[in-house]
Structure 1
């Protein structure tokens, strides 16, 4: 026996999503996926990961169980049920259900070190009539089984998922071969759940296989951590570029626009107002293009297909700060009004139907300062080089929130689901992410608070990345308590051994 070769047989009732999950774990398209029974017709091995020491983790995609009740009934009539069943010659075309089941049983008996048994978690456990006969077959074979809850739907709060998991664990409690019950949806799993699965596999193996399995787990974690690190780099670079972006309006043209504003009180078709609208469009266009490019990079990092869509602006708030150069002696008169005039003024693109166009800045400044306040600001700015527009701290913090939400969406998107398509986030994600970002907002703001357009983005990205990395790990720990700590501890133990 090669103790460095570990084989996992992926098995389930027919059409339960085995190949879909295999594609997600492998990060590439294998087999055929369609809504029909017995799409997979042969036992096929795929390499999940290998190590320099020669260890290898194989995943066997098998045909599904067919007529489970009839299969179990036949086997119960035999003194040596598995031996009898595999000794028969079933016709592949005239008795397809038995023939496919025979292929799956043969693979588990002859190849598997552990069995990954998928169940359809969208069903109530008591309503899944195929469970009892299929688990009886797995009991007869005697290999350790890890039950995976597939088709769980999109992520839900921890208490809801725990309640569902408890129902399934109670149902599986009477089967000696079942070593663990875990959620691992082919469409919505996260990489930290994969590490949890591999640790359960290690527990189920004989002691002679643990060292090899530990090396494979470490290799798998390093692969996923590399994807995580690359993703955090993308997020940090995007925020760094936005923090340094700036548009300057010529002073001579701003004064004329402000006089028009004072007279018209918000009618936004003057030349100066068009200057501001143009500047806003330039800022918004650059950050939007950067966000689309960042999402494309995230999709590639996670071995998915597809690209960012045009609805990328959804759920994004747009906040702009008006920064007018002021005389220090007169700064007290402003009371910080200009620098904070637009803080908190957001525009929800999807729901309000607004864009980064003419009139937004006009209305925000008039509402915050009034005509007299604008006039005082222009007077103070007279003779200086101009008025600048840049993204303020509120917007940049919200940009981190939005970027982390998008990272979670990509990190949970299984390749078996098909090409990337942005959908609504689970409703409990935004408040969870917002809370984690708020806790670190001071550190975030400090990372980009160098108002020097000549500052290299990489300098700010390096500082911001450390903070964003810690926020993301906090979020993952709150979504999947104990997984990251346990993985780190496991890696440390392996290194020490």
Structure 2
């Protein structure tokens, strides 16, 4: 089937992050990423997407511009002789800077319908003289340019990104630049990528625009499939937690029996969370792992058959006192990883231990409804951290996890109606019905978190 090619060229000053962004968009370790100038010396072509009709979205990763100010001055002296730059024969070793600039301009002139011009957002646009020179040279090619902001502040949120876009737009938002988008190679989401494709489509003429109308749904369908799989993975974690039970060992003092049961519950939860992290990482086509353990209140257990309320002791889902939590950490031999101590300060030690005393006659322990609510927010934060990790950053590490917790907690509170429906179905015997309610709550909370961060994304989700 014959379709239409849409050709993009990724252009920037050297060492800004073109190959890192290419890796992120492709979800593949292409090229070489080194913190040094002129790592990429040749134009490299990659296929980003293909539609069922045979259209292709192609990306050229180009060598970076070198000393653009001097180069621009030389071209000005020759009367903006872009032909001189492209027509000369430059040695890639002895004239490395000119050779790289030549290759970038060749790709931009001959191989691309649209230019993605990448800049370092940490620069002050008022003093970005290299950017000004490079855009002036690109203007000679008479191609539409989308300016991409890379190297954003770590864990930046919507308001900060919007402000940066506006600042760069005010400085460089004239021809050839058509629009400015924040798209960090290290920390972006699939929603940012769809937004980029929509911006590309707006700047193209026919037949490329028609091709983009087919390519965007193809890209979006793959992204939504990953999203669906992630929702299923979080649902699996909550279902396993909802159904987990641990009998109290016989022949032991009541307190030790409960602590032993709690330890076994905690160990299984820890493994299930590790499994969730590994699944989310795999869905996004990444490698790596999560070093952070569950840090919600592992004390939030209940005795099977109780109807818990948030104001009960730990058996009913409230956090233990710090003193009791520390004692349980010690009794569990480190299995709780200090989590009881860290999150057990909301009640006194006496209140915490009163749970144990109150529940010694119960035969089985399980996780409380309020704890499952906390776990949903925690899993949402873990999803957000993984889905924003760009492959250009390398192996996944969860250094960004803490930065997503506030958004995840807020989303769970904002979608309380769906969360309450899950908690009301806590002891639902029908497995399919419970899973449907659980998945609905998971989808609601995660979608709300994404729409809070990306209000423009309703048409995508």
TM exceeding 0.5: yes
1:178 Cα offset (Å): 0.5
Q: 1:114, 1:143 within 8 Å by CA — same for their partners in 2? A: yes
Q: 1:191, 1:224 within 8 Å by CA — same for their partners in 2? A: yes
Take 1:307 and 1:347, find their aligned partners in 2: how far apart are those partners?
31
Q: 2:369, 2:426 within 8 Å by CA — same for their partners in 1? A: no
Is 1:423 the counterpart of 2:399 in the alignment?
A: yes
1:273 Cα offset (Å): 2.2
Other-structure match for 2:409: 434
Deviations 1:88-141 (A, max 9, x none): 111222211101110110000001111011000011112322111101110001
Change (3 A) 1:279 1:141: same
Other-structure match for 1:323: 303
Take 1:285 and 1:312, find their aligned partners in 2: how far apart are those partners?
11
Other-structure match for 1:290: 272
Is 1:411 the counterpart of 2:418 in the alignment?
A: no
Q: 2:114, 2:145 within 8 Å by CA — same for their partners in 1? A: yes
Take 1:324 and 1:467, find their aligned partners in 2: how far apart are those partners?
23
Question: Within 5 Å, which residues of 2 pair with 1:282-361?
Answer: 282-309=264-291, 311-313=292-294, 315-323=295-303, 341-345=315-319, 355=329, 357-358=331-332
- Match for 2:436 among 457, 462, 481? 462
Q: 1:62, 1:107 within 8 Å by CA — same for their partners in 2? A: yes
Q: 1:299, 1:410 within 8 Å by CA — same for their partners in 2? A: yes
Other-structure match for 1:193: 192
Other-structure match for 2:91: 91
Other-structure match for 1:240: 239
- Match for 1:367 among 328, 332, 350? 350
Other-structure match for 1:102: 102
Take 2:189 and 2:357, find their aligned partners in 1: how far apart are those partners?
54
Q: 2:311, 2:318 within 8 Å by CA — same for their partners in 1? A: no
Take 2:411 and 2:116, find their aligned partners in 1: how far apart are those partners?
34
Q: 1:179, 1:204 within 8 Å by CA — same for their partners in 2? A: yes
Take 2:105 and 2:297, find their aligned partners in 1: how far apart are those partners?
55
Change (3 A) 1:337 1:151: closer
Take 1:367 and 1:281, find their aligned partners in 2: how far apart are those partners?
20
Take 1:356 and 1:229, find their aligned partners in 2: how far apart are those partners?
40
Take 1:69 and 1:367, find their aligned partners in 2: how far apart are those partners?
71
Q: 1:397, 1:441 within 8 Å by CA — same for their partners in 2? A: no
Other-structure match for 2:230: 231
Question: Within 5 Å, which residues of 2 pair with 1:117-266?
Answer: 117-173=117-173, 175-249=174-248, 253=251
Change (3 A) 1:244 1:63: same
Structure 1 unmatched ranges of 5 or more:
258-270, 489-497
1:71 Cα offset (Å): 1.4
Other-structure match for 1:390: 366
1:454 Cα offset (Å): 6.6
Take 2:25 and 2:205, find their aligned partners in 1: how far apart are those partners?
24
> Secondary structure in 2 aligned to 1:276?
helix
Other-structure match for 1:472: 446
Instruction: State how many pairs are aligned.
Output: 449
> Secondary structure in 1 aligned to 2:30?
coil
Is 1:41 the counterpart of 2:41 in the alignment?
A: yes
Q: 1:9, 1:62 within 8 Å by CA — same for their partners in 2? A: yes
Other-structure match for 1:60: 60
Take 1:95 and 1:88, find their aligned partners in 2: how far apart are those partners?
11
Is 1:274 the counterpart of 2:250 in the alignment?
A: no
Q: 1:67, 1:97 within 8 Å by CA — same for their partners in 2? A: yes
> Secondary structure in 1 aligned to 2:398?
coil
Take 1:133 and 1:434, find their aligned partners in 2: how far apart are those partners?
45
1:445 Cα offset (Å): 4.1
> Secondary structure in 2 aligned to 1:130?
helix
Superposed CA RMSD in Å reads 3.1
Take 1:246 and 1:194, find their aligned partners in 2: how far apart are those partners?
42
Other-structure match for 1:264: none
Change (3 A) 1:87 1:111: same
Q: 2:121, 2:150 within 8 Å by CA — same for their partners in 1? A: yes
1:84 Cα offset (Å): 2.4
Other-structure match for 1:263: none
1:352 Cα offset (Å): 7.4
Instruction: Tell me which of the two structures has the higher relative contact order, counting C-alpha pairs closer than 8 angstroms and 6 or more residues apart.
Output: 1
Q: 2:86, 2:102 within 8 Å by CA — same for their partners in 1? A: yes
